[in-house]
Amino acid sequence: MSKDVYVIGVDYGTDSVRSVLVNALNGQEVSSSVYYYPRWKEGRFCVPEKQQFRQHPLDYVEGLERTVKECLAKAGDKVPAAAVKGIAVDTTGSTPVAVDKSGTPLALLPEFESNPNAMFILWKDHTSVKEAEQINEHAIKFDTNYLQYVGGIYSSEWFWAKLLHILRVDEEVRNACYSWVEHCDWMTFLLMGGNDVAQMKRSVCAAGHKALWAKEFGGLPPEEFFSSLDPLLAGFTDRLFKDAYPSDQPAGKLSQEWADRLGLSTDVVVGVGAFDAHMGAVGGQIEPYYLSKVMGTSTCDMLVAPIEEVEDTLVRGICGQVPGSVIPGMMGLEAGQSAFGDTYAWFKKLLLWPVQNLLSLSETISPETASALIQELSDKIIPELTKQAEQLPLTEDSEFAIDWFNGRRTPDANQVLKGAILGLGLGSDAPRVFRALVEATCFGAKSIVDRFKEQGVPVKGLIGLGGVARKSPFIMQMMADVMNMPIRIHRSEQTCAIGAAMFAATAAGIHPRVEDAMAAMGQGFDAEYHPNPERTGIYAERYEQYKTHGALIEQEIAPEKPAPTDVQEKVVR
């Protein structure tokens, strides 16, 4: 029997789920497995032109079983089942779903299996813009500012706006919906074999950052806040939750059903879930006042600070500040961009349109050759654009872009906003436009850092995590130049899954604190980008243009957008 003990971290991203089997004593990654959601890959249940993005729970369930079993199979005899002590899950968020009283997502019931409104409403779904605006207008009617811990602005990407939208647009789902559950909480509940939603342990990460839960309010805002917003919300607070838990705590043990399905023991501890960026920040060894940037399809930017140093500081326009949402005992502050890698993916898709749509009509090459050529070009286009963009001179009047292609998450959430490309001429080619798009995403990142600093929370440095951070030196060097500060890149290619493993090890009692798990299991950093002084000044000038152009676009698109509620009022005690 091995003396080592192991844990499993499961990371649900936008396109896929990844599981890792990790030695809990030293952080060595024994095996990993990734599963791409088949229904999502086919584009089922999504209507991008309407900002509707839904995911079927079966993609999640099938991916969980497939990836965990494959991890164990790859490990073979090196890792006996009895040596696996814990499992924890992170997910995108806010990605909630309607459930019945047993906690079963409605889409798993035969009558709702093809109804997108009964599925998980993905974080990037913006069908509830109207509801978010109404929540913001409604909040100013109350003496207590219930938006003060989420930056003063409620977003269409979050829990209550999505619930209200679904209740309004689908009577059948409304009648069957007993409660509303975040993806990270449901996965934990599923692994434990839960059958009563009232017994579900809700994550303080999800509850505080997206559902307006705060200890200062005694939990969720009062029933009156929601029922006076819309009578359809009457009674929901009683069917949701009063308590929320940090992810270093055990939620329970693996059920017999899932122990059998995965080939594990019912002694395996299941940790409380959390959002991917929060666990990813831990996997990436976050430090106080260092902004941990998880860069993928979007970005989630995490910062932790000692509670006693920032508890009376409320940062306007971010995605919330919640004690214990990242590291227990520390204040967790979240910000981010609604589109980062998605911006580059959009441009790639735009450029590939003639290839994908015209090659199939070709009378010169076979369908098989056309398909192979499309795949080859798809794989090469971003690397070649990057290569060409790196060679371009940087000038104050180079092509320009605004990065709000999926709205703006922070600072100051506004999902109505649109992206823009400016300063085009007959010499503007694809590499020049691509360079402008990369620059825009870096400028969006700088606006977040500036907001923290303006509101009294220092940012001492940057930590880069995720696929973009590791795969694109071009983007990371530009990020350092725009920010005029170094950015360290974490060694791990899957910090979110590793972070989940660290929480699993803590919940299982292998390490007493999350910080101890980080120290024992962290993989360290393997790259660092420093600002180029020849470029920082030009970027500073162009950043001023970014702010000016952005303000004009915002005024044109959303001239009557209400101002954020004042989050600088005294904290409710």
Are 249 and 355 members of one domain?
Answer: no
- Residue 319, SS3 per DSSP: coil
Are 391 and 248 members of one domain?
Answer: no
Are 230 and 136 members of one domain?
Answer: yes
Residue 560 above 90 pLDDT?
no
The residue range of the domain holding 551 is 341-461+535-557
Burial class (CB in 10 A: 0-12, 13-18, 19+), 423: middle
Are 14 and 115 members of one domain?
Answer: yes
Query: Is residue 209 one of the residues assigned to a domain?
Result: yes
Looking at residue 1, its pLDDT comes to 36
Are 252 and 140 members of one domain?
Answer: yes
pLDDT in tens, 59-114: 999 999 999 999 999 999 999 999 999 999 999 999 999 999 999 999 999 999 99
Q: Between 567 and 356, name the one with better pLDDT.
A: 356
Give the Cα separation of 372 and 357 in Å (integer).
14
Which range (155-169, 177-191, 404-418) has the least confidence? 404-418
Are 453 and 517 members of one domain?
Answer: no
Residue 235 CB contacts under 8 Å (≥ 6 apart), including other chains = 223, 227
Cβ atoms within 10 Å of 34's Cβ, excluding its own: 18
Are 511 and 403 members of one domain?
Answer: no
Fill in the DSSP letter of residue 192.
Answer: T
Would the pTM of this model clear 0.85, i.e. be above it? Answer: yes
The number of folded domains in the chain is 2
Query: Is residue 353 one of the residues assigned to a domain?
Result: yes
Fill in the DSSP letter of residue 47.
Answer: B
For residue 157, what are the CA distances in angstroms to 160, 252, 258, 412? 9, 29, 31, 13
Burial class (CB in 10 A: 0-12, 13-18, 19+), 553: middle
Q: Which two tokens stand for residue 263?
A: 């080939």
Name residue 29's beta-bridge partners: 22
Band of pLDDT at residue 413, cut at 50, 70 and 90: confident
Are 433 and 499 members of one domain?
Answer: no
Distance from CA of residue 67 to its chain's centroid? Answer: 20
Query: Is residue 80 one of the residues assigned to a domain?
Result: yes
Query: Is residue 377 one of the residues assigned to a domain?
Result: yes
Give the Cα separation of 329 and 305 in Å (integer).
9
Contact (CB, 8 A) for 459 and 453: yes
User: Phi-psi category of 524—alpha, beta or left, where left has phi over 0 and alpha has psi -120 to 50?
Assistant: left
Give the Cα separation of 510 and 505 in Å (integer).
5
Residue 426 above 90 pLDDT?
yes
Are 279 and 375 members of one domain?
Answer: no
Q: Between 369 and 565, name the one with better pLDDT.
A: 369
Looking at residue 563, its pLDDT comes to 52
Are 518 and 541 members of one domain?
Answer: no
Name residue 219's beta-bridge partners: 214
Query: Is residue 481 one of the residues assigned to a domain?
Result: no
Contact (CB, 8 A) for 119 and 88: no
pLDDT in tens, 206-258: 999 999 999 999 999 999 999 999 999 999 999 999 999 999 999 999 999 99
Give the Cα separation of 411 and 318 in Å (integer).
5
Query: Is residue 378 one of the residues assigned to a domain?
Result: yes
Are 124 and 225 members of one domain?
Answer: yes
Mean pLDDT of 293-300: 90
Q: Which two tokens stand for residue 13?
A: 């991203």
Residue 570 above 90 pLDDT?
no
Mean pLDDT of 385-411: 94
Task: Tell me: cis bond preceding 411? Omega within 30 of 0 counts.
Answer: yes
Query: Is residue 173 one of the residues assigned to a domain?
Result: yes
Query: Is residue 116 one of the residues assigned to a domain?
Result: yes
Give the Cα separation of 347 and 411 in Å (integer).
24
Residue 59 CB contacts under 8 Å (≥ 6 apart), including other chains = 37, 38, 39, 40
Are 512 and 549 members of one domain?
Answer: no
Name residue 163's beta-bridge partners: none
pLDDT in tens, 36-47: 999 999 999 999
Give the Cα separation of 570 and 369 in Å (integer).
66
Q: Considering only CA atoms, which of 253, 254, 263 is closest in space to residue 80?
A: 263
Residue 380 above 90 pLDDT?
yes
Give the Cα separation of 341 and 366 in Å (integer).
33
Q: What is the CATH number of the domain that holds 229?
A: 3.30.420.40
